[in-house]
Amino acid sequence: MAPRPCKVIVAGGGVAGLSLALMLEKHGIDYLLLEAYPEVLATVGAGIALAPNGLRIIEQLGCYEDLQKCSAGADQVHFRKPDGETLWGLDEGLAETCIAKHGYTYMWMDRKSLLEVLYNNIADKSKVLPGKRVASVTHTDNGVDVVTTDGLTYSADIIVGTDGTHSKLRQEMVRHAEGLGLREDYAEEDKVAASYSCLFGMSDPVPGFPSRSLEFVTNEGFSYVLGAGPAGRVYWFLMEKMKQTYYGADIPRFSEEDKQRTLQEHWNDQVTPNVRLSDLYKRQLSTIYTPMPEFVYKKWHLGRIITIGDACHKVLPITAQGGNQALESAAALVNGLMTALSQASGSGPLSQSEIQLMFARVQNIREPRTFSIVETTHKRQRLDTMDTPELKEFLLTKYAGLMPGELWKRWAHTFTPAVSLDMLDLPARPKSVPFDDEALRNKNSNKALEAHL
């Protein structure tokens, strides 16, 4: 339990927001979550895949068994050529090997199912308020006042923006920076780049689509990521390189006509030898077509405001790290907050200087990792869309020969530096490739034991 008082407002009820709320509750930190939409669990998005680095945090929060009931673990993986034929693949054993190495395998689920699991595990639902869209944030002498569009005011020591790519909290942070003469440092939105678009969807079972699978289909200028979820549901992402890289306000917004045009252009794409995009769409439950910005902001916080998740770092979906990185950033923030609240330097609320130091430490931990994830994911997307003749030749003639070693190497590089919750027990899962923080904990535990003996 936090030894010093602290009130946190969380703005946004997506993966980052609900996971942060649950973490705060588990650590005894007072909070309110303000969700803009009328329903906390609005039907948004399609499918999401959680990787070992995110699932470890989910299990720390006591949600893993609940999530297993509404998800499907990947047990096969295929990298496919433009005609849908296998370039390289594992038809079975992916889950067993991945669990042996990292403790978990990839799990596919509806995005809404993940949100439901997080929300259902929050004991005090009165802390989660729907229909509370943030209108403004004002710094006071001792905290922040948050006014919502219904005219009510909520006060706290700090506010965390978990409100996605077009973050209102980010806008309020920039507005606060303007008042301090720091706008040039914080107005980063015009530098945000988008080179790819994504048409993503969720479909009822499609005959012939592999069960419990993780699928990558390569092509010139576009590629697919697909996964089989619970009860045979199929999640699919069509990534396409746009005509140019757009920045900031010039990033386009797509219409329904744009979506239909893209569907027709790719209607006969083979995603497996027996399944086309048209087969997926005919059984679709939902589809969304949108540009995919990629960024890691240089400024995550100012005063008593900090942003995490898509509000400050956004990654392409091909490596399935968006939700996982949101979980890591929420965990890092709670770790930092608990460390600050445990300092013996005071017994009252955190001072402005303590908050600034804590926020800076959180960003110092997370910014290099998220930047690396965004950068390596962009390179991977360029490979799958064969962005150059050299990449095309490498992919079609040499890539398969590097498998599965390259796959396990890349996944280990992605998973092992992950953040977990310092104050909660780590799941006792044997693994041949331990996470870095687990290795450090074991080392420190051994030293303590030796000192005691």
Poorest-pLDDT segment among 3-7, 51-55, 262-266, 333-337: 3-7
| Tens-digit pLDDT profile for residues 38-86 | 998 876 668 999 999 999 999 999 999 999 999 999 999 999 999 999 9
| Tens-digit pLDDT profile for residues 79-93 | 999 999 999 999 999
Q: What is the pLDDT of residue 348?
A: 87
Whether residue 202 is contained in a domain is answered as no
Q: What is the pLDDT of residue 43?
A: 65
pLDDT over 70 percentage in the chain:
96
- Look up the domain containing 396 and give its range: 7-190+295-445
* 97 CB burial (10 A radius; 0-12, 13-18, 19+): middle
Whether residue 284 is contained in a domain is answered as no
Whether residue 422 is contained in a domain is answered as yes
Residues 6+ apart with CB under 8 A from 242: 194, 195, 196, 197, 291
Task: Check pLDDT > 60 for residue 447.
Answer: no
* Cα angle 68-423-447, degrees, rounded to a multiple of 5: 115
CATH code of the domain in which 180 resides: 3.50.50.60
Averaged pLDDT of the chain: 95
How far is residue 98 CA from its own chain's centroid? 20
Q: What is the mean pLDDT of residues 171-177?
A: 97
**Residue 231 region, left (φ>0) first, then alpha (ψ -120 to 50), else beta?**
left
Q: What is the pLDDT of residue 345?
A: 67
In whole angstroms, what is the distance from residue 72 CA to residue 109 CA? Answer: 7
Let me know: does 64 contact 55? Beta carbons within 8 Å.
Answer: yes
Segment holding 199, helix H or strand E: strand 193-203
Q: What is the mean pLDDT of residues 192-199?
A: 98
Q: What is the mean pLDDT of residues 408-428?
A: 96
In whole angstroms, what is the distance from residue 19 CA to residue 140 CA? Answer: 27
Task: Check pLDDT > 90 for residue 336.
Answer: yes
Helix (H, G, I), strand (E, B) or coil at 39: coil
Residues 6+ apart with CB under 8 A from 140: 155
Kindly indicate the confidence band of residue 174, based on its pLDDT and cuts at 50, 70 and 90: very high
| Tens-digit pLDDT profile for residues 288-329 | 999 999 999 999 999 999 999 999 999 999 999 999 999 999
Kindly indicate the confidence band of residue 95, based on its pLDDT and cuts at 50, 70 and 90: very high
Q: What is the pLDDT of residue 344?
A: 67
Domain total in the chain: 1
Length in residues, the chain = 453
Whether residue 219 is contained in a domain is answered as no
DSSP string of 237-261, one letter each residue = EEEEEEEEEEEGGGS----HHHHHH
Handedness of CA 123, 114, 371, 243 (dihedral sign): negative
Task: Check pLDDT > 50 for residue 449.
Answer: no
Whether residue 182 is contained in a domain is answered as yes
Q: What's the token pair of residue 375?
A: 């950068």
